[in-house]
Amino acid sequence: MKRLDSVFIVSGIIILILVTLGVVIPDQLEEGAALLQDFISNTFGWYYLILVTTFLIVTLYLMFGPMGKVKLGKQDEQPEFNRLSWLAMLFSAGMGVGLVFFGAAEPISHYAIQSPTGETGTEEAISDALMFTVFHWGLHGWAVYCILALALAYFNFRHDHPGLISSTLRPLFGDKVEGGIGKTADIIAVLATMTGVATTIGLGATQVNGGLAYVFDINMNFWTQVMIVFVVTVLFLISAWSGLDKGIQTLSSANMAVIAVIFFMMLAVGPTMYLLNVFTHTIGVYIQNLPQLSFRIAPYDEGMREWINDWTLFYWAWWISWAPFVGIFIARVSRGRTIREFVTAVLLVPTLIVFIWFSVFGGAAISLEHEGVAVISDYVTEQVLFATFSNYGLGFLMSILTLFALGVFLVTSADSATFVLGMLTTKGSNNPSNRIKIIWGVLLSLTALTLLYSGGLQALQNTLIIAALPFSVIMLLMMIGLVLVSIKEGKKKKNQA
């Protein structure tokens, strides 16, 4: 039997300790996490805002700078996938539990419960609600994924280094990344990935529960969520053990078709022209206000600062926590692309999907409340989308399809996460053993359930912001390394000229 990697042992022990604490002293863990989250948000909020905006600026620099024509691979290497298939995979990376969970819930919250800028329930609040929602899901978040995926792809495909987070730190630390510095970086990446994906599983389980409660009057409680997570766990562990990768890929492709059907159904039965106008208007106000949104921390307004902590900082932490997971996927399917082509597609394609998605589902929910048809904001977050569906034609069918889509997203996300976690803890192996993947699968589900048990959605959000902070430092170093490499590439091209 192969000796277990130290990254696997240390990160596994840390996660087991956290799970044990969540079971034995859930109230104390929730209270401690809330205090730590509050401290981080108030102390490092400025850092998160500047860092994520800097990621966006650097990705644009890399796209237009001397590295733009550099290939992610050998210079004569051709892309593994054709452009249409590649863009479709970026599309699938951009879709998931989060977009379904917050598709109607976030815009309606900003419109009716607490506006990020002023009075709720007004026409201005509609514009602001959708603008802030797409800000949270748009260019900034995808720039986070882009930095990590670009660094991984560059050092893995162009310089044949292992596909590990630690490999991206070579420009700063050289061969030291093979020692303690590299191990620490990989452990932090594992913990961030575990927290990010566990949060997504928790959110997905609560929304499936919310949908079942709304449509079929099934109890909405922790034990129902346990059963949902259990079923999801069994399904993705079967996949991990049997290697049914093609089955999962087929299911994932079919799920994207289901999501597209739900989208076009909503666009057809909803106020179509209104939604198209909302989409167009939202693009305009987003572009117009992007610089101000990027640095908005409200130092003189305590209430607004709390809103930013609850929403913007939560999202920036979520993107950072998911970066190793999604970044590795994006890197793997982008071999042979130029950096300019890569950045353009990764930033723009998913962001366009975000604009369309939230304009339709968020606009449909807001329209109901603004016109006095239904008070959608009275529903709990997990049921907002289903309540929106129920007020339009084909609502029951859309709800059933959404429950199916959520279930598939949970299975495919967890299945992919076990592979990524296995890879990160077996020295970058592209074929981690079933035993390792199953161990991570069980720990992933236990972590999600522990967070739900110790405090529900708030515990999920608190833990995410805490876990993202140390990995954000790794990403900062990674970005600096990319800039240094870009400068060297530029000098090399000048000398060759």
Q: For residue 1, what pLDDT is reported?
A: 42
| Residue labelled with tokens 């419109």 | 111
Q: Is residue 17 part of a domain?
A: no
CB 312 within 8 A of CB 53: no
Range of the domain at 226: 6-11+35-485
Q: Within a domain: residue 319?
A: yes
Joined tokens for residue 292:
């101000």
Contact 320, 146 (CB under 8 A): no
* Alpha-carbon distances of 196 from 32, 106, 250, 326, 332, rounded to whole Å: 19, 19, 25, 11, 20
User: Tens-of-pLDDT digits for all 497 residues of the chain?
Assistant: 456 788 999 999 999 998 888 888 888 878 888 888 888 888 999 999 999 999 999 999 888 887 888 888 887 888 888 887 788 777 766 667 888 889 999 999 999 999 888 789 999 999 999 999 999 999 999 999 999 999 999 988 888 888 889 999 999 999 898 899 999 999 999 998 888 888 888 888 999 999 999 999 998 999 999 999 999 999 888 877 776 556 566 777 788 889 999 999 999 999 999 999 999 999 999 999 999 999 999 888 888 899 998 899 989 988 998 898 888 888 888 889 999 999 999 998 889 989 999 999 999 999 999 999 999 999 999 999 999 999 999 999 999 999 999 988 888 888 888 888 988 898 887 778 888 889 999 999 998 898 888 776 677 677 778 888 999 999 999 999 988 888 887 677 666 65
20 belongs to a structural domain: no
User: 28 lies in a domain?
Assistant: no
Q: Which residues contact 261 (CB under 8 A, 6 or more apart)?
A: 401
Q: Using CA atoms, how far apart are residues 83 and 295, in angstroms rounded to an integer?
A: 35
In our burial notation (b when 16+ CB lie closer than 10 A, e otherwise), range 15-37 reads beebbeebeeebeebbeebbeeb
Residue 496 lies inside a defined structural domain of this protein: no
Q: How many residues does the chain have?
A: 497
Residue 337 near residue 71, CB atoms below 8 Å: yes
CATH number of the structural domain spanning residue 260: 1.20.1740
Residue 42 included in any domain: yes
Cα separation, 390 vs 344, whole angstroms: 38
CA distance 22 to 296: 34
Record the tokens describing residue 137, joined without a space.
């899901």
Q: What are phi and psi of 338, to 5 degrees?
A: -75, 160
| DSSP assignment of 43-94 | HHHHHHHHHHHHHHHHHHHHHHSTTTT-BSS-TTPPPSS-HHHHHHHHHHHH
Counted domains in the chain: 1
d(CA 124, CA 354) in angstroms, rounded, equals 21
Residue 274 CA: distances (Å) to CA of 360, 362, 445:
9, 12, 41
pTM of the model: 0.91
**pLDDT of the residue at 230:** 94
Q: Residue 316: what pLDDT? A: 93
Contact 73, 331 (CB under 8 A): no
Is residue 93 in a domain? yes
CA gap 100, 325 in Å, rounded: 19
Is 328 within 8 Å of 164 (Cβ atoms)? no
**Residue 71 φ/ψ, nearest 5 degrees:** -90, 145
CB 231 within 8 A of CB 225: no
Domain assignment of residue 29, yes or no: no
